[in-house]
Amino acid sequence: MDSALSFEIEAVCPWSGARAAILRTPHGVIETPVFMPVGTNGTLKALTFDQVERTGAEIVLANSYHLYLRPGSDLVARAGGIHSFIGWPKPVLTDSGGFQVFSLTALRKITEEGVFFKDHRTGRGHFIGPKESMKIQNEIGADIIMAFDDCVKNPATYDQAKAAMDRTHRWLETCVENHKNTSVQSLFGIVQGSIYKDLRTTSAQTVTAIDLPGYAVGGVAVGEARPAVEEVVMYTTPLLPAHKPRYLMGIGTPWDIAYAIRCGIDMFDCVSPTRLARHGSVFSSEGRLSLRLSKCINDFSPIDPDCDCYTCKNHSRAYLAHLVRSKETAGGTLLSIHNVTYLLRQAKLARQAIIAGKFKEYFETIERAHNAEETTASELIDLPG
């Protein structure tokens, strides 16, 4: 397949296989490993794109399902594509809509051609399959587009996982046949197979047998226990070609990011920084912090003294706690600025460590902090916006 992408590896950590690379797209250059903030409806919730730019984001993700339903992918096309429509000239990635169709919609009917479903807001009937997903994503016009897959929720039996995987493979062929803009948009294939290693192997072999610009590990953090997520990522990532970008879909806490990079992942996305911000929580070098805690009311220090985001440079925990308690919109904005910046910086620090030959030390520091902190598995699951 023609590719609008180029991927150049700069350094590989011999201990782990973690990579630093340059990914070139029609709308700009991305230094990997990279965190991709999610702009579900063509916006990162509570942030303007000027603010997004200042977080250091190099690429944002948009959801095809949401844009298809409202305002309509044809309208985005008439606006000149997603970059013109949202006013963000840098790279954009769209998901296929598959995850939302399977997870958000009621009254689904799955056929070999795709999925009939009802709009989660209006109740109106729609149909999206691999062919329709390619049309929608071609109209939206992101730099990187994703194959339409069947992402089975966990726990899934072996037979359920295999059926979804086989369908994903058949749908990938339809996606390849129907993708019209190969010169400007790069289609990534998605490896499925749930928690079953032999299925992951089969899926990786089948998907990578098709020459695509990049590949993704899908179906992780969809209901399984944390150790299972890590095992799948550790097992599956090396099955993907080393010379192409590898994308782990839907994860994004500081620990998730470090672990994914350690496994050889280059790209990851998650709604967690903006969602947590809206709930008054922030990432910090001391772990996750809720600004609703009474100890923040009189704390005049920044969220994180090492963070150089606008929020940490200008505001104290006390002020932010006041905004959160008063339900002020600016609170969500300021916490989102910090959380997005924080995760972007985590990926950038990992990148610097890989290039400097110090990734093992970097990872072990993060691992110690992670082991010291209790994590809540439910917060790691990627839910919509």
Catalog residues that contact Zn ion under the rule CB under 5 A.
Answer: 307, 309, 311-312, 338
Between 303 and 366, CB nearer to Zn ion = 303
Task: Specify the residue, 217 or 307, whose C-beta has the smaller distance to Zn ion.
Answer: 307
CB of 323 to Zn ion, least distance (A): 15
Which strands form 114-118's sheet, in the order they lie side by side? 106-111, 114-118, 125-128
- 47 in Cβ contact with 274 (< 8 Å): yes
**Shortest Å, Cβ 302 to Zn ion:** 7
Distance in angstroms (rounded) separating the CA atoms of residues 373 and 371: 5
* Shortest separation between residue 311's beta carbon and Zn ion, angstroms: 5
The nearer residue to Zn ion, 145 or 309, going by C-beta atoms, is 309
CA distance 156 to 194: 7
Whichever of 111 and 300 has its CB closer to Zn ion, that residue is 300
Is residue 269 among the annotated active site residues?
A: yes
Q: Are 163 and 144 in contact (CB under 8 A)?
A: no
R_g of the chain computed on alpha carbons: 20
Residue (49 or 342) nearer to Zn ion, CB: 342
Reading the block at residue 158, the tokens are 């072996």
> Which position among 95, 149, 266, 299 bears the catalytic label?
95
Q: How far is the CB of 307 from Zn ion (least distance, A)?
A: 3
In whole angstroms, what is the distance from residue 300 CA to residue 201 CA? 52
Amino acid at 62: A
Q: Which residues have C-beta within 8 Å of that of residue 82, sequence separation ≥ 6?
A: 42, 62, 67, 76, 88, 92, 94, 140, 141, 142
User: Rounded to an integer, what distance in angstroms lies between the CA atom of residue 12 and that of residue 243?
Assistant: 11
Cα separation of 55 and 127, whole Å? Answer: 37
Q: How far is the CB of 258 from Zn ion (least distance, A)?
A: 18
Q: Is 166 part of the annotated catalytic residue set?
A: no
Would you state the structure tokens that stand for residue 249, as one six-digit string?
Answer: 């879909």
3-class secondary-structure state, position 73: helix
**Smallest distance from Zn ion to CB 39, Å:** 20
The CB-of-137 to Zn ion minimum distance in angstroms stands at 33
Q: Are 88 and 52 in contact (CB under 8 A)?
A: yes
Catalytic residue among 143, 150, 256, 269: 269
Minimum CB distance to Zn ion smaller for 66 or for 338 = 338
Q: Are 266 and 34 in contact (CB under 8 A)?
A: yes
137 closest CA partner among 152, 149, 148: 148
Q: Do residues 94 and 147 touch, judged by C-beta distance below 8 A? A: no
* Residues 217 and 204 sit within 8 Å (Cβ to Cβ): no
Q: Please say which residue, 226 or 322, places its beta carbon nearer to Zn ion.
A: 322
Q: Which residues are catalytic?
A: 95, 269
